[in-house]
Structure 1
């Protein structure tokens, strides 16, 4: 494990550095997603450290450089256009069922899952609402911000949107969902656990809003490469091999545990 972590630390030296000709692989990520990817977070975030470690311990490692994109609306366009070789973190939709002709399933190859996040249901604390089965959400209004994937709401066996049994509300920002929840304008908010809890602390809603224990869904997060990239197969093979090697050691769990500890400590002040 020490050897893997030492190698990861060496790789992290290039994060946020000036791009040079020595960087054979260019990677794009977006800041503002603590504890996963954030320019101001220790080691630039949990996901960044995992990606860096996997690239460093994978077969035939190449020098790489990570660029930070400040505008989330820009998405991973430069990865699609091959200005950058790789991008992260990207959630994988249900590509087998996707009807989006221009979406990520069409544009990208996805790596093996780097990690999985749980989507929770958040409700007002003064509401005795229970979520024991999917039927409990039927007839409700559910808020999820615009641009977030909604495949889990319409997956086979659920099909809330297709059947019209759940009303989806999509404001611009996550904070807007929680404002609407507190105001009684929606019944539920569903986002991943970390984003949701962060919103509660940022808006001082921890006494007014709570997450229900039963997860709504899980979603895997990945590294992506353009399907038209000339080295797509090689880049993904090397990353996936390094990720598999990382997961076979204590290093993978240690990285996640360390970042989670920092995250919860910061939330508690």
Structure 2
């Protein structure tokens, strides 16, 4: 079951401002609720935290946020500086993949904005043991393509070269759960927020269960091209603003409020 619980409210809600005369342009997806979503209050947990951190940064500048539905185009748009920064990105296991992974070599990552737990969602009727990584040998997992699927601990790098674990990557989370219910994959690997949310939305609460042992813990970040002429300054400002949010209690208030919304929406 989900282990996230609301934390005490400490500060009043931080206002999120967007400017037509923005000095900083940001890119995100509109369909990653509760993290980034056009139809979620304040456009999602991550969106509000990013805006609040920029507002709290030293010498804050106006910013704009653009919704881009196709995540696969984000790396090119950020690397080419068509936009200044993007979010939320999971940082891959760069100590394992840096030599051949552009996500490690072409971008700078902010300090972690949110940490999420990656769980395995399996059919309730199946006997699925996951006491250690070796238990996944021969299994087929499904991980939807997109910004929240990057492997933070080199897990795939550990298994895939030996063909011990297969991973399917459809475009959407819904497609992963369809494959699970059709018996074409053994488990869906996704963060607990979105996995449980989809279970409720799709009416699968009696047919699918999350395993209690996490597959990984994943940190989510803001990224910028490592060749951006203002990259160091912009990332410094963002990290300083994020630290200030945590020091003042604004971070805890934002997170608490969105988690409360999340639970209310699950109840219907």
Residue equivalent to 1:39: 38
Residue 236 of structure 2 corresponds to residue 237 of structure 1: yes
Residue equivalent to 1:211: 210
Partner-residue secondary structure (3-state), 1:207: coil
1:96-245 equivalence runs, <5 A: 96-98=95-97, 101=100, 103-147=102-146, 148-150=149-151, 152=153, 154=155, 159-245=158-244
Q: In 2, are the aligned partners of 1:153 and 1:161 still within 8 Å (CA)? A: no
TM-score by length of 1: 0.88
Counterpart-to-counterpart distance in 1, 2:64 and 2:170: 34
- Which stretch of the first structure deviates more once superposed, 69-78 or 79-88? 69-78
Higher relative contact order (CA 8 A, sep 6+): 2
Residue equivalent to 1:13: 17
Distance of aligned partners of 1:117 and 1:48 in 2 relative to their CA distance in 1, 3 Å threshold:
same
Distance of aligned partners of 1:105 and 1:174 in 2 relative to their CA distance in 1, 3 Å threshold:
same
Counterpart-to-counterpart distance in 2, 1:68 and 1:197: 24
Counterpart-to-counterpart distance in 2, 1:238 and 1:201: 39
Residue equivalent to 1:267: 266
TM-score by length of 2: 0.88
Residue equivalent to 1:61: 60
- Which stretch of the first structure deviates more once superposed, 230-239 or 71-80? 71-80
Residue 74 of structure 2 corresponds to residue 75 of structure 1: yes
- Which stretch of the first structure deviates more once superposed, 91-100 or 239-248? 91-100
Unaligned runs of 5+ in 2: 1-8
- Which stretch of the first structure deviates more once superposed, 191-200 or 106-115? 191-200
Residue 249 of structure 2 corresponds to residue 250 of structure 1: yes
Q: In 2, are the aligned partners of 1:4 and 1:246 still within 8 Å (CA)? A: no
